[in-house]
Each structure stands twice: as structure tokens, then as C-alpha cells.
Structure 1
Amino acid sequence: MREQNCIFCRIANGEIPSTTLYEDARFRVIFDLSPATRGHVLLIPKEHYADLTELDTETAREVLPLAARIGRAMKAGLGAAGFNLVQNNGEAAGQTVRHFHLHIIPRYGAGEELLLWKPGESTAEEREALSSRMGEYLR
């Protein structure tokens, strides 16, 4: 299913021009207009899924192998030393377009700002309680 008012549906399906790195029947990989680093791309399914929780199994199965191909191309073609895969789900997590997409950000090593968080602490009891609360929804 595609949504008429979704900008990523329109980009992924060629209705809005973009600089495309890769395209097949199910995905388009485009260059980010506000890149974190040189070569930052977005992997976008052509079908509409609001976030990771809505992906169908086949689409989900294809995302990481395609991201790995793109990452290898970044290393070989751009001389990237590594790359980040960033995928946000929901506004609280930083998702600004409600269409699943995966950022693939090449890393060159020197002076780049990385995605970091301040490590917190938790007790074994807290982890057990969290596991119990979430685990019931995995069954």
C-alpha cells in the first residue's frame, strides 16, 4: 500500500525527484538532503510502513542485506572506515517522516560527531521486572 500524502512514498516511487544511488522493485536508496556525513543515504521501501513495527516479514528480511551492500559500497567507493545504521521509530525517538527508512551514514574516522548516549545504570531486579513486563507481549 502507498499513501498519497506521504513524501517518502512519493520519493521512493519516483513522483518527486531525488538523487538515487540504488533502486529495485521494492526499495529506493537516495542521498539525504541534510547529510550527517558525505555520502549519507536513506534506504526507503516503496510500500508504506509507518515504522519498523509495521514492516512485513519479507520487507524486513531484505533491509539488512541491502544495507550491508550499501555499506560495502561506501567503504570501497568512498573510503569510509565504517558506517552507522540509524532507524528511528516514533516522534519521541526522532522519527520526523512517518514512513520506515534506514539511514546509512558513512564514517571516515576523524572529528566526526557520533551518535552517543550517556550510559546509565540498572540493577538485576530492574532488568528482570522490565523483561517480565515486555516478555508477555512477545508470546
Structure 2
Amino acid sequence: MIDTDCIFCKIIRGDIPCAKIFETPSVLAFLDIAPVRPGHALVIPKAHHPALWDLPDEDGRDLLAALKIVGRAVVQATGAGGCNVVMNNGAPAGQLVAHAHFHVIPRVRDDGLELWPGTPYADPQAMSRLAEAIRSRI
């Protein structure tokens, strides 16, 4: 399925150019046009699915296999010591394009990028209650 208004679907169709780095029949990977660091890549399914949980299992397997290949290549090509693999799901989480996609961001020590701060639960019972609420929905 393709969404005619989706910028990633337009890239997949070839309507918008990209710096393609990897492609299979079901996955496309290309460099981000506004990278956090040089080598920042996007790995996307060719079928339009808004978020991770909308992906059929087969597409998810293909996406993960491509992510491993692309991540390894980005780290090697940039000389990075590692990478962050990030997926934002939903606008409140920072997803700007409603087409499932992973960011592969190469990292080097002391590059100035910060991860989000962790905050312990103030009440251990609150953590237990939330864990139960989540388990009940699985």
C-alpha cells in the first residue's frame, strides 16, 4: 500500500530523489536530509504503515534484517564507535512522517548528543500497578 501524500512513499516511487544506500523488494534505506550526524540514515518499509505496530510481521522481519545490514555499514563507513537505532511512533513521540521508519544515527564518544534523562518511580507501588496495567493489555 502506498499513501499518495506521504513524503516517504513519494521517495519510494522515485518522485522525490534520495541518497539511496540500500534497497530490497520490501525495504529502502537512504541518508536523512537533515542529519543529526553525518551518516544518519533512515530505514523504511516500502509498504505504507504509520507505526511499528501497524507493520505486518513479515514486513517487520524484512525491516529488521535491513536495519542490521544498514546499521553495520553506517558505523563502518563513518568510523563511529556505535549507533543509536531510534523509532518514533506517533506525533507526541516526535514522529514527523507518519510512515514507519528507523533512524540509524552514528555515534562517537563525546559527540555532544544526549539521551533522555531517566527518572525513578517515586512510589514502587505505582511501578507495580503500571506493570500490571500493561500486562493486562498484552
Tell me the secondary structure at the aligned position of residue 21 of structure 1: strand
| 1:53 corresponding residue in structure 2 | 53
Tell me the secondary structure at the aligned position of residue 49 of structure 1: coil
| 1:37 corresponding residue in structure 2 | 37
- Asked if the contact 1:12–1:45 (Cα under 8 Å) also holds between the matched residues in 2, the reply is no
1:77 aligns with 2:77: yes
Q: Report the Cα distance in structure 1 between the residues aligned to 2:16 and 2:112, rounded to whole angstroms.
A: 31
Aligned length: 137
| 1:93 corresponding residue in structure 2 | 93
Unpaired runs of at least 5, structure 2: none
Percent identity over paired residues: 35
Once the two structures are overlaid, the 10-residue window that deviates more, 8-17 or 24-33, is 8-17
Tell me the secondary structure at the aligned position of residue 117 of structure 1: coil
Q: Which amino acid in structure 2 is aligned with residue 98 of structure 1?
A: A
Unpaired runs of at least 5, structure 1: none
1:117 aligns with 2:116: yes
Deviation at residue 113 of structure 1 after TM alignment = 1.3
Tell me the secondary structure at the aligned position of residue 9 of structure 1: helix
1:79-137 residue CA offsets vs partner (Å, 9 max, x unmatched): 111000010011110001111010000112233313x2222121331122112212222
1:131 aligns with 2:120: no
- Asked if the contact 1:41–1:105 (Cα under 8 Å) also holds between the matched residues in 2, the reply is yes
Tell me the secondary structure at the aligned position of residue 28 of structure 1: strand
Deviation at residue 18 of structure 1 after TM alignment = 0.7
Q: Report the Cα distance in structure 1 between the residues aligned to 2:74 and 2:3, rounded to whole angstroms.
A: 31
Tell me the secondary structure at the aligned position of residue 106 of structure 2: strand
Q: Report the Cα distance in structure 2 between the residues aligned to 1:20 and 1:96, rounded to whole angstroms.
A: 20
- Asked if the contact 2:49–2:99 (Cα under 8 Å) also holds between the matched residues in 1, the reply is yes
TM-score, normalization by structure 1: 0.91
Moved over 3 A (4+): none
Tell me the secondary structure at the aligned position of residue 125 of structure 2: helix
